[in-house]
Structure 1
Amino acid sequence: MKHAELGRLKQLQKIDVHDNSIQVGSHLCWGKIPSLRFLDLSTNKLEGDIPKCLCENLHVKELFLSDNFLIGNIDACLRNMTSLEYVDLSDNSFNGSLPSLSISNLTNIQSVILSGNEFKGRISLSHFANLSRLSYLDISWNSLEVETESITWVPSFNLSVLNLAACNLKTIPSFISSQRHLESLDLSCNSLIGKIPSWMLDNVSKKLQLRRNGFIGPFPKSFQNSSQLTELDISDNLLSGSFPEDIGLNFPELQSLNASWNNFSGKLPPSFVRMRQLLFLELSGNQFHGEIPYGMTSNMSSLQYLGLSRNNLTGDALPKNSSLPKLRWLYLHGNHFTGNC
């Protein structure tokens, strides 16, 4: 890419060169292009700091630099790009403290994706409180410690996606309970304990990920008659007790359920048969006993993955006349099945 040629295109609004092998950042210094609004350099081989010349394009609204080999601090670059609405810097090696103070000045920002870097230190999410247009925030998989504030603060935003996986959380940030439009919430791989709050199943409409924490107590229930969740992952916790008998009625839209590696017990509820959308069901590593309900293997016509290994199940490995036409993966090892397959 020769910067001299691009610099002559004064009406250029969009540059998309993602998924190439662009290496040298200095070659991207094509000068200011006042009309530029969209810049995608993701999935290349960019190394080193972000070229400062990129940040001179002050009218860019969408900036994508994910999946490169970029390092350093991004504070200086973002500070003046006040037109930004979407920024994705994920899967690089950016380090230093998270530039929350610079981001807090980006009053037009809607989406911030900084996951999979090497940011360090403590951060308070209250820094983002006045970003009224913010709807997507992902700071997961860094070396951050997200503070859970003792003083209540009221966000001006309504998030649709919040990803805080591996953020050293010890308690659930209180502001999340006020977010009524969440489609996806990821709090995986933290140090959260206690019972799973019922409000989560009311507030999150599609995807809830809570794996690898220290949650205890029974299977979470929603205050509403049914949940609209399509994906629920509560694996690798300390949850116990039996599954609710009416689980199929409470979660009619579920496509993926992972409750593996907990301490669930009792029999598998026959109401699984009502979960007609279910594609993925993983219940391995629990203490379920009894036989596999006939309905689970005869009427779940969408099921592609079934994991029941490492339980205390008995009887036939599969009930007679089972019919799982779309099943591709079946894991039943580590049980007490008898008879013929």
Structure 2
Amino acid sequence: MSGKLPSSLANLESLEYFSLFDNNFEGFFSLDSLANLSMLKVFGVNSRSNLFQVVSEGSWKPKFQLNAIALRSCNLVKVPLFLLHQKDLRHVDLSDNNISGQFPSWLLANNTKLDVLLLQNNYLTSFQLPRSAHNLLFLDLSVNKFNHLLPENIGWILPHLLSLNISKNGFQGSMPSSLGNMKSINNLDISHNSFGGKLPRSFVEGCYSLSILKLSHNKLSGEAFPESTNFTRVSQLSMDNNQFTGTIGQGLRRLRSLYMLDVSHNSLTGGIPS
């Protein structure tokens, strides 16, 4: 489909589900036109055209409570403020936009049932978590502009994450020891950052549900596989382009499900434990 999204959507008073992905819309679409659609639960749109932009003008309070919203590739420059009034969101996808500034921690604070938050490929610079623990399952912040420490309490605030992707940013410092509190995490990608130091003992022992672990292109150092490594379910492990030194530790033996391992471009010596 092409052309403009009609403002006459505002007349569809019984509309509950609206999804128009992978089209070629152009022009501006104002979210304000949805304000009176009291039945609306799911709204999703994106466009392959760079000439399409979703806007949200001023402060307005919608009559609906969404379960899911997806505004991918909509040239958004900020998180729509009407989301401040949403309390029942489960899925939020604002990826591939031009959103800058702070991570919207209020989305978590306001929506205790939120499972999925996708903000990859934006221009976010500040990452501050809410004060209380949350049950979020999937978080993608890859390809943003973060260039500071990863919050030390991330594992305590988001202990139920199944997937965390913060790759291709500028995160610095050590990996937070609280990551070890993510007992259910299956997929962790921190590649292409500036993390340094050793892998926290709590991390290599506590994240026993990991299946995919990507640590590539950082400044991580120390022993690659300490004996306490508890990644028994890891199938894909990328540790290349770091500063790991010494021999490959006996912890490698515990990676019984491993079928892809990359430890290239480090300073490791010796052989692989049999």
Normalised to the residue count of structure 2, the TM-score between the two structures is: 0.85
Matched, 1:108 2:17: no
Q: Structure 1 residue runs of 4+, over 3 Å off?
A: none
Tell me the equivalent position of 1:266: 173
In 2: Cα distance, 1:138 partner to 1:251 partner: 26
- CA distance in 1 between partners of 2:30 and 2:48 (Å): 15
* Deviation string, structure 1 residues 210-267 (Cα, Å, up to 9, x no partner): 11111112x32113x2122111111111112222222211111111111111111111
CA deviation string 1:261-295 (max 9, x = no partner) = 11111111121111111111110111111111223
Aligned counterparts of 2:55 and 2:207: Cα–Cα separation in 1: 43
Which structure exhibits the higher relative contact order, with contacts defined as CA atoms closer than 8 Å and separated by 6 or more residues? 2
Distance 1:272 1:107, change over 3 A: same
Task: Give 2:204's aligned residue.
Answer: 297
Rounded Cα–Cα distance in structure 2 between residues aligned with 1:181 and 1:276:
26
Q: Superposed, which structure 2 residues align to 1:79-158 within 5 Å?
A: 94-101=1-8, 103-143=9-49, 144-149=52-57, 151-158=58-65
Cα distance in structure 2, aligned partners of 1:259 and 1:121: 32
Contact 1:247 1:269 in 2 (8 A): yes
Q: Give the one of 104, 117, 120 matched to 1:208.
A: 117
C-alpha distance in 2 between matches for 1:153 and 1:270: 41
User: Cα distance, 1:142 vs. partner?
Assistant: 4.0
User: Per-residue displacement from partner, 1:69-101 (whole Å, max 9, x unpaired)?
Assistant: xxxxxxxxxxxxxxxxxxxxxxxxx11111341
Q: Deviations over 1:175-226 (max 9, x none)?
A: 1111111111111111111111321221341111111111112x32113x21
Give the whole-Å Cα distance in 2 for the aligned partners of 1:115 and 1:330. 33
- Matched residues in 1 for 2:144 and 2:162: separation? 21
Residue 276 of structure 1, aligned match among 183, 191, 207: 183
Distance 2:59 2:244 in 1: 53
The 5 A counterparts of 1:14-53 are none
Q: What is the aligned partner in structure 2 of residue 318 from structure 1? A: 225
Within 1, Cα distance between the matches of 2:167 and 2:24? 30
Q: Partner amino acid for 1:288?
A: F
2:161 paired with 1:247: no
Aligned length: 244
Give the whole-Å Cα distance in 2 for the aligned partners of 1:116 and 1:203.
Answer: 30
Q: Distance in 2 between matches of 1:287 and 1:180?
A: 36
CA RMSD of superposed structures (Å): 1.4
State the secondary structure of the residue aligned to 1:185. strand
Q: Please, which runs of 5 or more residues in structure 2 have no aligned partner? A: 249-274
Q: TM-score, normalised by structure 1?
A: 0.69
| Residue identity opposite 1:221 in structure 2 | L
**Partner Cα separation in structure 2 for residue 129 and residue 145 of structure 1:** 18
Question: In 1, Cα distance between the equivalents of 2:95 and 2:174?
Answer: 27
- What residue in structure 2 maps to residue 179 of structure 1? 86
Aligned equivalents of 1:249 and 1:299: distance in 2?
13
Give the corresponding residue for 1:220: 128
Which secondary structure state, in structure 1, belongs to the residue aligned with residue 171 of structure 2?
strand
Structure 1 residues 113-161: Cα deviation after superposition (integer angstroms, max 9, x where no partner): 1011111110001111111010100012443201131x32221110110
Runs (5+) with no aligned partner, structure 1: 1-93
State the SS of the aligned residue for 2:22.
coil
Partners in 1 of 2:207 and 2:100 — Cα distance? 34
| Matched residue, 1:60 | none
Separation in 1 of the partners of 2:7 and 2:187?
A: 38
Give 3-state SS (helix, strand or coil) of 1:320's partner: coil
- Asked whether the equivalents of residues 56 and 81 of structure 2 are also in contact (C-alpha less than 8 Å), the reply is yes
Question: Hey, what's the Cα distance between the residues in 2 that align with 1:243 and 1:317?
Answer: 21
Identity of aligned residues (%): 36
Q: Look up the match of 1:287.
A: 194
